[in-house]
Chain A
Amino acid sequence: MSTYSLSDGLASGAPGVSRAPLLAIWVRESGVGILASVAWIGFGLSCLWWEDVGDWSRTHSLGIAAFIVAAVALFGTVGADYLGSAGRGLRKRAPWLVALGAFLTLWEVATAKFAWLPLPFFPPPQSIIEVYTDDLPKLLDSVFASVKLQLGGYLIGATIGFLTGVSIGWSRAVGYWVHPVLRFIGPLPATAWLPIAFFTFPSSWSASTFLIALATCFPVTVLTWSGVASVSNAYYDVARTLGAKPSFLVLKVAIPAALPHVFVGLFMGLGSSFAVLVVAEMIGVKAGLGWYLQWAQGWAAYANMYAALIVMSLLCSGAITLLFAIRDRLLVWQKGTVKW
């Protein structure tokens, strides 16, 4: 067990006092896990103890699920040493489990049980669960539509932005013509094009793709360009004396050297394209999570809105996580922790 080696190291000079620190370490490492378990039992009890003030079908299942989480938290953290990396991960996140359990308990009590918060606007956890179980097909359709629209627009915008950025950074002639256009159009928020785009494009889908691409394109272009422009001449000198042709200088020197900047641009483009996606879906496209939100508001279905918001935030944060994972993979040479 890891605690033994730890206490050995600490108390190597004084074997007589090693018992007390051992207990202290055990409490420190497992205490939070027990606390997390208590918090989730509290949540489960809060679901089952009192009667709901409204009519929700998932209260009972939610209570049972809370007990299951409590059990996992308890055994997972106490027995973390036998569970490998999963156990270590659980232990690390135990404080969050405590906070989450406490928050859910409070939420449950304040809404479903005593209605301290005004009801239709603040739905209880079980009604959001209800949306996920009962309205799943529609929600999944919306997720699919949003992902498709976002992915298409983003990829087009990122590709165009990257190519434009490299060309401006590389060629003075291209820079001469493109730079003023970029300065004029780039800073305009892509949503300002919305009314024009929706009646000039053949479909609302193509209009939205255009807008998302536009929102992505600008930051990617600017950052790629500045990345290419800031590549040290020494790299070009080395490559040229070794016989590199211009194509090699662009593909194997300028672009790899500019890649850290490019990823900053891709990250910024992702952020601004999310905003455009939601607005475009709310206004023009009759599909996607933005539209789902709009639709839920029309029916005063507040639980559906919260449910959609949670999904949306998971998707956006997932997209950014993915981008960062790709970046870490491609820019492994930047980190100081590489092993070979």
Chain B
Amino acid sequence: MVVAALAESITHAAAGAALDIEQVSHAFDIDGAELPVLDDVSISVEPGEFVALLGPSGCGKSTLLRLVAGLDKPRSGTLREDENRIKSPHPSRVVVFQDPTLFPWRSVWDNVALGLEAQGILRSQRHHVDAALDLVGLASFRNAYPHQLSGGMAQRVALARALVNDPKILILDEPLGKLDSLTRITMQAELVSLWQRKGFTTLLVTHDAEEALVLANRVIVFSDRPARVKADIRVDRPYPRHRGDPYLADLRRQILGLLGLDATW
């Protein structure tokens, strides 16, 4: 399988890193008014854990991911990767943004190669790029430009661009949001399989409670803005998981209840 090809092609095994989010609060200034977005968020993630983040739209999930990536600094609190304070972006923490943001002037292949090129190791690792493109099923589009891709294909390229860097922490902001349900299920399976082989720590933001439960060890539910941790749920089920599993269905009802949807579901 393609996943096996990618796993084999990567020689230096990168195990996951621990992630500690300690009492992080953040706010934005909008027209002079202060908009609190994160309120005293503490999450401690074990190395190799798969954590899903769920919460209402606009509550601050993407903001938290930007802090983890090191793109912004929190107003207060600290973030650590394996005891080291996160101060700036580092390729050990790779982000797949909500918007694919492919570089329109680069072909698909060159987009996927971006991280390796930026770190100056592309020459020796070209085969990783090919393997990552195979993984997302876009090998035949390697020379296409982003404007020639569909929204779902662009998201898959963005995923490949992240995976090729062999991250210790993979940060995913609704990476499968624009995919059709069939591709989505395939990609979920590939993601789990890849995560199991490589052992990176994963942080996944999603709107879909079912997706969270099929993929993650742990589901964290946020409150409305400013985001606070409302619930931290362990999902102790072996993989591959079954969508119809009554245990998961039960958790799903519980989570939807936390998100304020109990009456209808």
A binding-site residues for B, Cβ under 8 Å: 232, 234-235, 237-245, 248, 252-253, 256-257, 259, 331-334, 336, 338, 340
Residues of A near B256 (CB, < 8 A) are none
Q: Tell me, rounded to whole Å, the shortest Cβ–Cβ distance linking B245 to chain A.
A: 35
* Total chain B interface residues with beta-carbon distance under 8 A: 33
Among the stretches B48-56, B112-120, B128-136, B185-193, the one at the interface with A is B112-120
Instruction: Choose among A237, A243, A332, A333 the residue that contacts B119 (Cβ–Cβ < 8 A).
Output: A243
A340 and B71 contact, CB distance less than 8 A: no
B144 CB within 8 Å of chain A: yes
User: When chains A and B are docked, how far (Å) is the Cα of A242 from the Cα of B71?
Assistant: 11
Stretch with Cβ within 8 A of A (4 or more), from B34-42, B93-101, B206-214: B93-101
Among the stretches B103-111, B220-228, B257-265, the one at the interface with A is: B103-111
Cα A151 to Cα B118 in complex, Å, equals 35
A256 CB contact (under 8 Å) in B69, B103, B141, B161: B103
Q: Which A residue's beta carbon lies closest to that of B104?
A: A333
Q: Are the C-beta atoms of A338 and B148 separated by less than 8 Å? A: yes
Residue pair B117, A252 in contact (C-beta under 8 Å): yes
Query: Can you list 10 A-B contacts (CB < 8 A)?
Result: A240-B88, A241-B69, A241-B71, A241-B91, A242-B119, A244-B118, A245-B118, A332-B145, A333-B106, A340-B144
Residue B143 CB within 8 A of the other chain: yes
Tell me if B202 is interfacial: C-beta within 8 Å of chain A.
no
Instruction: Give min CB distance, B63 to chain A, whole Å.
Output: 13
**How distant is B37 from chain A, measured CB to nearest CB, in Å?**
17
B145 touching A243, Cβ below 8 Å: no
Contacts of A333 in B (CB 8 A): 104-107, 145-147
- Pair B99/A336 contact, Cβ less than 8 Å: no
- Cβ of B89 under 8 Å from chain A: yes
B118 and A243: CB pair below 8 A?
yes
Q: Which 9 A-B pairs have the closest CB atoms?
A: A243-B91, A242-B115, A244-B118, A340-B143, A240-B89, A256-B105, A243-B119, A333-B145, A241-B89
**Contact partners of B161 in chain A: CB under 8 A:** 242
Q: Is the CB of B97 within 8 A of A243?
A: no
Distance between A36 CB and nearest chain B CB, rounded to angstroms:
41
A234 near B97 with CB under 8 A, answer: yes
Q: What residue in chain A is nearest B161 (Cβ atoms)? A: A242
Rounded to whole Å, the gap between the CB of B101 and the closest CB of chain A is 5
Contact A238 B101 (CB under 8 A): yes
Q: How far is the CB of A329 from chain B (nearest CB, A)?
A: 13
Shortest Cβ gap from B123 to chain A (Å):
15
